[in-house]
Chain A
Amino acid sequence: MLIRIDTASAEPLYAQIVRAVRQGVARGEIRPGDRLPAARELAQSLDVNMHTVLRAYGELRDAGDIELRRGRGATVVARRVANSKVSKAVEQLLEVARQSGVSLEELHEALDEGADR
């Protein structure tokens, strides 16, 4: 899972971490059941305050993306798209991609670019 944060961005650092983790899950780089890096390790690696990482993990937990358990750290939770409209759109998008010969990887990249715009 690639985590890239921009310290000059107007977006808070914790929000950038939240977005990077969600992108990692969407791309399949981390799977349900996988553990995220320990908060201290991630903070040291990105050279940010540990509270920034804890806030990001708290946000992800509140949104149901991860579980936080004492001793086990942060674990990614399996989620399903509950909204039937979105599920249908996903199916249609996958069908169009299949017919056009667009790989899943390219589709992920296009979605990421779209989300970044």
Chain B
Amino acid sequence: MTHKTPAPDKARRQAEERLRSRHLLVTVSVTALATLAYLLTLLLTAGRLPDTMATHFGVGGQPDEFMRTWVALLFQGAVVVFLPVALLVTFGFANWWKGEFARALSAMISGLCAVLATMFVVLTVAHVGVADPAEVRLTWQMGLIMLGVGVAVAMLVMFLLPRSLPRPEPSPVVPVEIAPNYRVSWFGKARMGQTFVITMAAATVLVVAATIASNIWWMWLIVLMMILLMAGLSSFDVVVDSRGVRWRSSVGFPRGAVRLRDITDISVIETSPGDFGGYGVRMMPGRIGIITRNGHALRVVHGDRELVITVDDAEVAAGVLEGWRLKGRGQGA
């Protein structure tokens, strides 16, 4: 059953729109500036680079893998643009600017973009005038510059962006009537949207391509981890009944439960991956989020902890749980 989301008031809509514009302006500007800096570096170093470039370095900073220069430059450019854009699109679909951690997420995306661009600029500049790329070294000073620029950009973004809006008031829960001779259970799902699945699949295909191209065996472990993550986090089964609420990934693990007698409050809230720093099973101090999309979610408070699940039909799930809670207290029908 689909439930209509109550229309937020005009002032809140306008505030959300302003927030969205600021976040998009800052993150897109940083991505554009990073791309520009990289392109500028290519222009300034054109004709002064060797035929091959060092693209991978050992622990001591000595290069151990090389690539033809034009391929390396193209690959680096693609990474500088593709990774932040992929993150922006993924989080954009999830309205990350609405979440509690919106500033931190914007800072993370911008910082990552800055680190990548700085790394490739520094590496490219290090090859200028070098006859043999094996002479190029990755020094700790270079690492410090990359990290420094990344942290500085992330902090600047944190400073430029306003604080998140307070959470909207939870929707009232209408308890489902549970007569003494009734047995009532609710079975639902929290599933990732198509965008997330397509993005994850595209990322996995890219990593597989990179693994085959690089011929580094341990990269297959990353591929395996990505496939396991996709399988484990794309869909969750949720049960609400007289025992409380239980959730479980469709592959069986991870899983969790809150007993009915421990529940102190039940509500339906508006949430987004920005509230929990991303998708999937988000464990944070005092709270667990099973976050597969933005929008309505079931929120269960037990003591000083909370569980938030973006189930389909959060209103009905909350109603059944509240019905059982009232019945447990002797207030049921």
Contacts and interface: CB of A to CB of B under 8 A. Distances in A.
B2 A4 contact: no
Count chain B CB atoms within 10 A of each CB in A4, A34, A37 and give the residue with the most: A4
A41 B242 CA distance: 13
Interface stretch (B107-115, B179-187, B192-200, B283-291): B179-187
Given A34-B189, A37-B187, A105-B1, A4 B182 contact: yes
A4 B184 contact: yes
Interface in B168-194: 176, 179, 181-189
A104 B4 CA distance: 11
B1 A27 contact: yes
Interface stretch (B18-26, B59-67, B312-320): B312-320
B186 A3 contact: yes
A47 B183 contact: yes
Nearest to B237: A37
Interface residues of B, number: 24
Contact of B1 (A34, A42, A108): A108
Interface stretch (A5-13, A61-69, A93-101): A5-13
A20 to B, nearest CB: 9
A84 interface: no
Interface residues of A, number: 24
A50 B233 CA distance: 30
Main secondary structure of the interface of B (DSSP, over half): mixed
A32 interface: no
B242 A47 contact: yes
A39 to B, nearest CB: 13
A105 B2 contact: yes
A28 B312 CA distance: 11
A105 B1 CA distance: 7
B188 A1 contact: yes
A7 B316 contact: no
Nearest to A29: B1
Given A27-B1, A28-B1, A5 B182 contact: yes
Contact of A41 (B179, B186, B189, B239): B239
Contacts of B320: 2
A27 B312 CA distance: 12
B3 interface: yes
Contacts of B316: 2
B321 to A, nearest CB: 12
Nearest to B189: A34
Contacts of B239: 37, 41, 45
Contact of A45 (B4, B176, B241): B241
30 contacts: A1-B186, A1-B187, A2-B176, A2-B185, A2-B316, A3-B185, A3-B186, A3-B187, A4-B176, A4-B182, A4-B183, A5-B182, A6-B181, A6-B182, A7-B182, A28-B1, A29-B188, A29-B312, A37-B187, A37-B237, A41-B239, A42-B185, A45-B185, A46-B185, A47-B183, A47-B242, A105-B1, A105-B2, A105-B3, A108-B1
Given A28-B1, A37-B237, 7 more contacts: A3-B186, A36-B187, A45-B187, A45-B239, A45-B241, A45-B243, A46-B183
